[in-house]
Structure formats: structure tokens, C-alpha cells
Amino acid sequence: MREKYRRENRTSSVTYEENKLLSFHKESSVTSSFRVHKDGQVGIHYQVGELGDEEGFRRAEENLSIRPRSYPFELETGKRSRDMTERELTDKELMDTAAECMQYLLDKYPRFTFRADFDQTKTTNRWVNDKGMDYSNTDCSVNVSVGFKHVDSKDISDGSFGFSLRDFDKKVFFKMADDYLANYEKEVKLPEEIIIDTQYYGLLGCLSNQLNAENLALNISLLSGKIGEKVFSEDFTLWHDVSDKECWFNCFWDGDGCVTEGDKRLFIEKGVVLTGHSDKRNAEKYNVPHTGNASWSFADIPLDGWVNWRIERSEKTVKELLDGRYCVIPVRSHGGGFADNGDFAMPVQCALLSDGEKILGKLPPFTMSSNLFDMFGKDFIGVGCDNPIYNDKQILIRVKKGNIL
């Protein structure tokens, strides 16, 4: 039985350094995985660059003898194609757009220097096998990231902002730049109650490890023995979700070729932990529900761990969730994280104060601290139904204020 993954990627990018155009870059790549399955084993040939099917499968078959990998699972079937592309810019349009955005920054914010990357990436993944499976997924977006430094700052960089759009709109860029920079020079005090307003991808990494089915089974997760228990906030519901527009460049099938119903799966419902995430191997080995979360590997067999988390949004806006309180936007916040016991501490080197709609001023640097169970438990306020500041979903969490840095 033969199987083939193929990824085609095209990227154009424009980079500015210290306010000046530095480079225009083009990249085009093809990556393939040729796989030959026999008697519960698979031989794999990983290829970067074009290679004909005949030679690719010949090498995979050769590897079935040299480096056989155990994969005693049925191959999947199914046909489906999804293309998320909304609009593609030409290289000239990308360069002109970048120039216009940079000019806006330079005209309006002359007391800052900027490093900026504008890229357009288009990726197509396709997976076919002899059982008739034929899945493909295409996505394309313009991705912007801007690092800024105030002219008086003695730091290397003061912060950054960025976003991705499938149909790029300069107005979104202008608004985000204004949000971050217009009141940057106005110094304000930290509120007594610290509510962090942030994109949540980084915070959910720890939860991914705790929800790994193997970690749960081996009793090395903080959630081991807590399946079925309510350990988080009533307002906290967590999905793996590749169904909607908030999913970037993710395919709808996992590394075992499995598709979940509606392209999503519920893991925590109203604070109750329902199940861990698993691939076929872990589901069978530990006799736990199979959730379709195998990661792709072009050069090896899949492993448990592919998740695209989405916290269920509240019906309220961010401002309504704040209910008259202020929140803190951590513009530059790194170096800390979660400890083994779930405790969390993070320096916030640059922070801005917001009312949930607009930025009010710059805060002094400080350290925030919390705990995994508090963050998504008693201190979880919610994820608003709107996307202010970040042009993306964002979480509101109460944290403790530690040392002023």
C-alpha cells in the first residue's frame, strides 16, 4: 500500500530595517513524503525538491528494509479539498502595500524606528493513498510583523505588533499602528487589579502537555486522575478546532489521516476535563478515546500532539467583560513561563494600559504571576466576541502583580 504527502509552499517577503527597505525575498519549495506500508510497517522516503513517484516509492520501499517503522494501523479513506484563499497579491502589490504601510509609520510616528516584515505565503498540502484517500488544503495570507523602538530608548527593541489577513486591508494595519503607538509616550500607572488581555496561544502550550493522553496515562500530567472532574472555570470551554477562519495554514486532517466531526473536538466543557488528546498509537496503547490529534511527520511516523486550540468565546465584548475595569496589554513579555507544578511567572518588559477598546498609555515593566488552575479557573474572565487591539481572539485573565522590574 502506497501513500504520499506533498507540500508546496510559495513565499514573497519584503523586509524593512531601521525604517529603510532592506530586501525583497522569494521562496518556492516542494516537500514530499513517500511511504510504503507492508505488514504493519512503513518505509519512508523524505524528499525536499521534486522527485518522480517511481523513484520516490522505490526509495521508500528500500527503507522498508533498512529502517522499517512500526505502523500497525489501517490507512484512511476519503476525498475532500478545501481552499481558504481569498485574495493573492502580486509581488508588486505586496511591495507597494509594504511601502505605503511603512510611509504611514514614518510620517505619523517619527520618534520611533521600525523593523518590519511583510510576507505573503501560500501553502498547499495534499495527501493521497492507494485506498483512495485524496485530501488537499490550501491557504494563503499576508502576514505582517512590526518591531518598534522609541528614539530615546536604550533597549534593543521596545515591542512589536503583527497580524495575518487572507484579504489584506491597510486600514487594519493603520489602526493597529495607532493603537500601539499613539499613546505610547504617555506614562500611566499600573491599576491595583491586574487583568491581562493577550492572545492565548502561548498560554495554552502548558495545557497541551497536561492534556496529552500519554502523559495523563503515565500520571505525569497535572490533570492525571481528573478526567470528568470540574477543575476550571464554568466559563472555560476548550476545543481543538480547524473549522473556522481563525485557523491558519492548518489542514483538516491529522497525521494519521483522520478527520474529526465538524473539523473540531471538545476537550474541556464548562471547566470539566472530558478527555486527553491522542493519536491512533496512544489511543490503542492506553485504551483511551481516539481524538485525531496526530502530528504530521514527513520523515517519520506520526506522534500525538497536533492541536489548534480555541477557547469558546463569550457573548460579551472585551470591554463588556471588563465591566469598567482596565486591562494590561503585554507588548513585550518573555523569559518566564510555567513551572512543573503549574505555577506561572512572567516578566512584562513593556506593557500598555487599555480599556478594552483603545490604548490609554504605557505602563512600567513588572512581573506577573499565577497558576495554571487559577488562570483558567477562578481568575479566568473570558474571551470576548470581538477582536480589538490584536485583530484576533484574546483572553482576559486576572494575575498577581510581582516585582516592578
Partner 1 sequence: MYQFPKDLYADVRIEECFECWMAIQNGEMVSDGIAEETGAFIRVFDGNMWYTSTTNDIAGIQAELDNLATLATPNPDILEHPMVKKLQVHQDTVLKFDGENCIKNVSRAQWKNLIDTYIEACVDEGISEINAWVVYDNASYKKKSFYSSKGAAIVQDMQECILSVNYGITVDGITTGAWKGFCKLDFENLKGHEAEVISERDRYLDYAHNAVQVEPGDYTCVFAPMATAIFTHESFGHKSEADFMLNDKTLQDEWVMGKKVGNEKISICDRGNMPNHGYIAYDDEGTIAGETWLMKDGVLTGRLHDAKSASTLSEELTGNSRAGGYGCAPLVRMTNTYMAPGPDDPEQIIAEVKDGIYVYEVYSGTGNATFTLNPGICYRIRDGKLCEPLRINVITGNVFQTLFDVDAVGTDFKLIDEGSCGKGGQSVNVSDGGPTIRVKKLTVN
Query: In the complex, which residues of this chain contact partner 1 (CB under 8 A)?
Result: 17-18, 21-30, 44, 46, 48-50, 66-67, 69-70, 113, 149, 151-157, 215, 218-222, 224, 297, 299-301, 303, 332, 334-337, 339-341, 343-347, 349, 365, 367, 369, 402-403, 405
Residues 6+ apart with CB under 8 A from 92: none
Helix (H, G, I), strand (E, B) or coil at 317: coil
Nearer to partner 1, 78 or 347 (CB): 347
Nearer to partner 1, 239 or 298 (CB): 298
CA–CA separation, 114 vs 118, rounded Å? 13
Nearer to partner 1, 219 or 315 (CB): 219
Contact 172, 163 (CB under 8 A): yes
C-alpha cell at 73: 494501523
Q: What's the closest the beta carbon of residue 196 comes to partner 1, in angstroms?
A: 15
C-alpha cell at 217: 496515562
CA–CA separation, 313 vs 337, rounded Å? 24
Q: What's the closest the beta carbon of residue 62 comes to partner 1, in angstroms?
A: 12
Nearer to partner 1, 45 or 240 (CB): 45
Nearer to partner 1, 237 or 293 (CB): 293
Q: What's the closest the beta carbon of residue 304 comes to partner 1, in angstroms?
A: 10
In Å, how far are 14, 15, 333 from 117, measured between CA atoms?
Answer: 6, 5, 20
Contact 347, 387 (CB under 8 A): no
C-alpha cell at 199: 492572545
- Please name which of 71, 84, 82 lies closest in space to residue 141, comparing C-alpha atoms: 84
Contact 383, 311 (CB under 8 A): yes
Q: What's the closest the beta carbon of residue 85 comes to partner 1, in angstroms?
A: 22
Nearer to partner 1, 29 or 77 (CB): 29
Q: What's the closest the beta carbon of residue 200 comes to partner 1, in angstroms?
A: 19
Nearer to partner 1, 1 or 22 (CB): 22
Cβ atoms within 10 Å, residue 231: 18
In Å, how far are 102, 164, 399 from 142, measured between CA atoms?
Answer: 15, 6, 34
Q: What's the closest the beta carbon of residue 239 comes to partner 1, in angstroms?
A: 26
In Å, how far are 94, 119, 331 from 143, measured between CA atoms?
Answer: 11, 5, 18
Nearer to partner 1, 49 or 52 (CB): 49
Please report where in the chains the cell 463569550 appears, as a residue: 314
CA–CA separation, 97 vs 68, rounded Å? 50
Q: What's the closest the beta carbon of residue 384 comes to partner 1, in angstroms?
A: 28
Q: What's the closest the beta carbon of residue 72 comes to partner 1, in angstroms?
A: 13
Q: What's the closest the beta carbon of residue 77 comes to partner 1, in angstroms?
A: 26
Nearer to partner 1, 69 or 325 (CB): 69
C-alpha cell at 84: 481558504
Nearer to partner 1, 113 or 260 (CB): 113
- One DSSP character per residue, 46-102 reads EEES---HHHHHHHHHHHHHHS-EE--SPPP--EEEEE-------HHHHHHHHHHHH
Q: What's the closest the beta carbon of residue 361 comes to partner 1, in angstroms?
A: 20
